[in-house]
């Protein structure tokens, strides 16, 4: 009975995992599919691609998760402070002992939420300077190629092409995109980036001007042009861009970042090109004004030239005096030529009179006498003196070379004498003179052991004054002649600068 009364004895035991699984089944069973309205709090986007966020009101907070595959399909991306309606299912996360909502769809909670999010995004882009007028590009006056980003099946593209054809026909490249829905924003951004990536002058030429156009609609219909990726793509475009989204009263973010906003797509075509007929009329009028101005200018110059010509003298009057001077000089010219010739003939005769053979002979004779006197003054004595001095210098140099050669030979000769004395001192001949002898066998091999001497057939003993054969060699071989002692080498007087090397013994 005591065990039955014990409350703890009959209570079942659960593991932590079992209890968490039970809670998970209860929550998922009771709240299989729910729609939750709240304000988006903290938003986290890790590199995995999932989105983690908080949904809150004034009293409670619930965690939410949007898996990677679902986040790519969302028409509206959650942002902090945004009021949304999230659709999904409740579940638990046992690893942290909390419950959360797995969001399958998320939409703004009414028009007020959309406008609040738009104002927040607009303020963010304005703070980055994307709306600054100084960064807007100037539109080309007459573009060669116009790129249009719009739907290929709507009335917008027909209005643009019709208006361009009426005003000034140009080449048009159309990049088809979806102009509403969740595919609108990425397709429009890719179209703007794709036009900018084209190569100028390539097979598909790069446009000189872009028009992003769409017809009117509600805020939800035009929301794709309020997305951040579209605004940033338009701001980064290197090609001047005209935004023509909606009617005149409709405003989107692309209108603020574009280089120029058009109230309607038709107005965008009018802004893009001038009127061809107006240009032709202006050109004709300007040409006519230029022709009239040139005619008037020429007429004024002609009148001025005629006025100035009246003050000029007649051409015949200007030539009368020069003509008269020419006639006078023509009459004086023959007499002047004759007089000049006579004067040059007299001068030639005076010069020829001085060129006589006798005068040349005297000049030659005088030159020979001068040459003889100069030759006499030349003597061989200086040359002989130079030769004698040269011989004396040669003898001196020869004597110096002999002396230098003798000095160079004395050092090797002294070294050779010292080595010869050292050889005699170290030779075994000197040892024999002190009472030692060398014992050889009959074949001439030197014997250093008693046993080798006893076993030898013949012996030969060398003393300082000769060799003595013993045994068979002594019986049949005459004694070796006693070598004559070597004559003592005369000691060379050592060089003055080197001392004589002494004996080693």
Pair 236, 297 in one domain: no
Pair 175, 255 in one domain: yes
Model pLDDT, residue 171: 93
Tokens of 37: 């309205």
Q: What's the CATH number where 84 sits?
A: 2.40.50.140
Whether 267 has a pLDDT exceeding 50, the answer reads: yes
Q: In terms of residue numbers, what domain contains 62?
A: 16-111
Give the pLDDT mean for 462-486. Answer: 62
Whether 327 is in a domain gets the answer no
Whether 438 is in a domain gets the answer yes
Pair 68, 153 in one domain: no
Pair 148, 250 in one domain: yes
Whether 3 is in a domain gets the answer no
Question: Which of 182-191, 228-237, 446-455 is least confident?
Answer: 446-455
Pair 253, 297 in one domain: no
* Helix axis angle, 228-236 to 184-197, nearest 10°: 10
Whether 423 has a pLDDT exceeding 80, the answer reads: no
Mean pLDDT of the chain: 81
Tokens of 462: 């060398």
Instruction: Compute the distance between CA of residue 252 and CA of residue 222 in angstroms, rounded to an integer.
Output: 7
Into how many domains does the chain fold? 4
Tokens 């679902």, located at residue: 70
Model's pTM, two decimal places?
0.45
Most distant CA atoms of the chain, gap in Å: 185
Whether 302 has a pLDDT exceeding 50, the answer reads: yes
Give the pLDDT mean for 112-140. Answer: 85
How far is CA 418 from its chain centroid? 76
């Amino acid at each position: 009975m005591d065990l039955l009364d014990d409350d703890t004895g009959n209570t079942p035991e659960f593991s932590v995992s079992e209890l968490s699984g039970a809670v998970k089944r209860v929550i998922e069973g009771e709240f299989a599919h729910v729609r939750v309205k709240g304000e988006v709090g903290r938003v986290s986007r890790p590199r995995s691609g999932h989105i983690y966020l908080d949904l809150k009101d004034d009293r409670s907070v619930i965690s939410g998760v949007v898996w990677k595959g679902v986040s790519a399909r969302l028409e509206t991306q959650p942002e902090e402070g945004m009021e949304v309606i999230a659709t999904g299912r409740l579940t638990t996360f046992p690893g942290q002992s909390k419950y959360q909502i797995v969001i399958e769809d998320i939409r703004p909670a009414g028009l007020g939420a959309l406008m609040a999010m738009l104002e927040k995004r607009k303020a963010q882009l304005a703070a980055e300077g994307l709306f600054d007028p100084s960064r807007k590009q100037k539109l080309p006056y007459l573009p060669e190629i116009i790129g249009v980003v719009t739907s290929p099946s709507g009335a917008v593209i027909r209005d643009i092409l019709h208006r361009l054809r009426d005003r000034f026909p140009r080449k048009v490249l159309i990049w088809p995109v979806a102009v509403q829905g969740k595919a609108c924003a990425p397709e429009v951004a890719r179209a703007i980036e794709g036009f900018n990536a084209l190569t100028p002058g390539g097979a598909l030429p790069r446009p000189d001007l872009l028009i992003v156009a769409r017809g009117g609609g509600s805020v939800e219909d035009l929301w794709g042009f309020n997305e951040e990726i579209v605004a940033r793509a338009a701001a980064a475009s290197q090609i001047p861009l005209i935004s023509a989204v909606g009617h005149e009263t409709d405003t989107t973010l692309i209108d603020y970042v574009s280089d120029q906003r058009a109230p309607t797509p038709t107005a965008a075509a009018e802004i893009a090109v001038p009127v061809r007929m107006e240009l032709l009329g202006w050109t004709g009028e300007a040409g006519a004004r230029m022709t009239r101005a040139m005619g008037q200018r020429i007429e004024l110059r002609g009148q001025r030239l005629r006025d100035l010509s009246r003050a000029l003298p007649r051409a015949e009057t200007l030539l009368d005096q020069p003509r008269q001077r020419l006639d006078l000089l023509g009459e004086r010219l023959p007499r002047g030529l004759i007089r000049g010739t006579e004067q040059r003939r007299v001068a030639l005769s005076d010069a020829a009179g001085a060129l006589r053979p006798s005068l040349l002979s005297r000049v030659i004779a005088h030159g020979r006498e001068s040459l003889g006197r100069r030759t006499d003054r030349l003597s061989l004595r200086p040359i002989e003196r130079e030769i004698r001095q040269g011989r004396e210098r040669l003898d001196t140099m020869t004597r110096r070379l002999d002396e230098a050669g003798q000095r160079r030979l004395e050092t090797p000769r002294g070294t050779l004498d010292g080595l010869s004395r050292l050889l005699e001192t170290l030779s075994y001949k000197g040892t024999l003179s002190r009472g030692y002898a060398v014992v050889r066998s009959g074949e001439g091999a030197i014997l250093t052991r008693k046993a080798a001497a006893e076993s030898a057939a013949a012996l030969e003993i060398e003393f300082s004054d000769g060799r003595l054969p013993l045994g068979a060699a002594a019986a049949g071989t005459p004694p070796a002649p006693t070598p004559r002692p070597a004559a003592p080498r005369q000691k060379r007087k050592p060089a003055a600068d080197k001392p004589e090397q002494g004996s080693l013994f």
